[in-house]
Amino acid sequence: MKRILAVAALAALLMGASAQAQTKVKIGVLSDMSSLYSDIGGAGSVAAAKLAIADFTAGNKDVQVDLVSADHQNKPDVGSSIANQWFDVDNVDLIVDTPNSGVALAVSEIARQKNKVFVVSGAAASDLTGPKCNANTIHWTYDTWMLANGTGKALVKTGGDTWFFLTSDYAFGHALERDTAAAVEASGGKVLGKVRHPLNTNDFSSFLLQAQSSKAKIIGLANAGGDTINAIKQGAEFGITKSGQKFAGLLVFASDVVALGLPTAQGLTLTETWYWDANDSNRAWTKRWQVERPGKFPTMVQAGVYSGVTHYLKAAAALKSVADGKATVAKMKEMPTDDALFGKGTIRADGRKIHDAYLYEVKTPAESKHPGDIYTLRATIPAAEAFRPLKEGSCPLVSG
């Protein structure tokens, strides 16, 4: 009997030691859950993070992952408060997603101060890997420089050489306008004017009248989500496209096109880094994602959450600890990225994740063969060309 008890005690001890050896990770999805960016990220980003955790832990029992989520309400002070609470009290190791560049820039600085990790999938401002870069932040999916040099250059080359900008009046819109104007002018085009509108604007009439009166060939929409949808819908009512002007959706997501409908969105040129219907792997993942989001189609932001969380968990498993956020990010940069949605890639010294980008045109209703069949591929922008050259970003982590 004593021997049996001793064996049982040893087994319990070994099981306890095994449990203690697990690397524990807590991830927070910080997103817009209720407003104009909620279809871009929101609950769809939470669903993507759940899939990444399930897929990774199915093959790696040494990592235990908890997931939380919150709504930043597109307010930097709210996002900062949540980030501080998560890092200081709730033991969150990684914050992911965060559409809204104002919120993302604030959270990036908090992650640096607390030595935690921030993987940005939702926000666009290229300053996150430029002058505001730090050793605790990775910018995953896309950015304003990529959008500007994809859509902007392509339209100038095809005759759209005069521009007027409708710009969302905060960090993201300013960065997208700045980067696109630079790309347009570098390609030989001219910027005739601009007007800035408040975030989450319902009435674009006065802004559209200014754009219309400019006679610019291209009206560049330096906004996103609900603002882009409202501007294009109201522009159609004004007959802007019938007069020969064209909208350039500088940040358009699949969810926006679905919301607009192909009769309104057809012909839009845009740049994305991921499209659900591009290949069999993306389609298979989308079916799994749709279990929680029936009738929806995932955006590149939500795909980026899956990809970023997957790579973070690989680094966590390799290090067997995520206590040191800077060390975790360094490991993520050291390891090549590879997942089912974005394939193989790298993370540069400035925190910029590198992969291909794609120039798409929205299909006509007649061209669409099934729900969500919305894009025709016009060009692939190779990874080496898709993002701003490393030495041009003014990131303090980059020497030379």
DSSP 220-238: EEE--HHHHHHHHHHHHHH
- DSSP-assigned letters across all residues of 197-208: E-SS-S--HHHH
Q: What is the pLDDT of residue 11?
A: 47
| SS3 label, residue 90 | coil
Residues shown for the chain = 400
Q: What is the pLDDT of residue 243?
A: 82
| Pairwise CA distance, residues 217 & 211, whole Å | 10
Instruction: Give the Å distances, CA to CA, from 185 to 179, 182, 204.
Output: 10, 5, 26
Q: What is the pLDDT of residue 260?
A: 93
**Tokens 């010294």, residue?**
349
| Pairwise CA distance, residues 143 & 387, whole Å | 8
Taking only the tens of pLDDT, the chain with its 400 residues reads 444 444 444 444 444 444 446 899 999 999 999 999 999 999 999 999 999 999 999 999 999 999 999 999 999 999 999 999 999 999 999 999 999 999 999 999 999 999 999 999 999 999 999 999 999 999 999 999 999 999 999 899 889 999 999 999 999 999 999 999 999 999 999 999 999 999 999 999 999 999 999 999 999 999 999 999 999 999 988 888 788 898 998 999 999 999 999 999 998 889 999 999 999 999 999 999 999 999 999 999 999 999 999 999 999 999 999 999 999 999 999 999 999 999 999 999 999 999 999 999 999 999 999 999 999 999 999 999 999 999 999 999 997 5
Q: What is the pLDDT of residue 5?
A: 45
125 Cβ contact list (under 8 Å, min separation 6): 101, 104, 105, 132, 143, 144, 171, 172, 175
Return the structure tokens found at 212: 């219309």
**Tokens 């701003």, residue?**
388
Return the structure tokens found at 271: 């740049």
| Pairwise CA distance, residues 196 & 211, whole Å | 11
| Pairwise CA distance, residues 161 & 128, whole Å | 29
Phi, psi (rounded to 5 degrees) for 314: -60, -40
Could you tell me the domains of the chain?
23-142+279-355 (3.40.50.2300), 145-272+357-386 (3.40.50.2300)
Please write the tens of the pLDDT for every residue from 181-233: 999 999 999 999 999 999 999 999 999 999 999 999 999 999 999 999 999 99
Phi, psi (rounded to 5 degrees) for 253: -110, 160
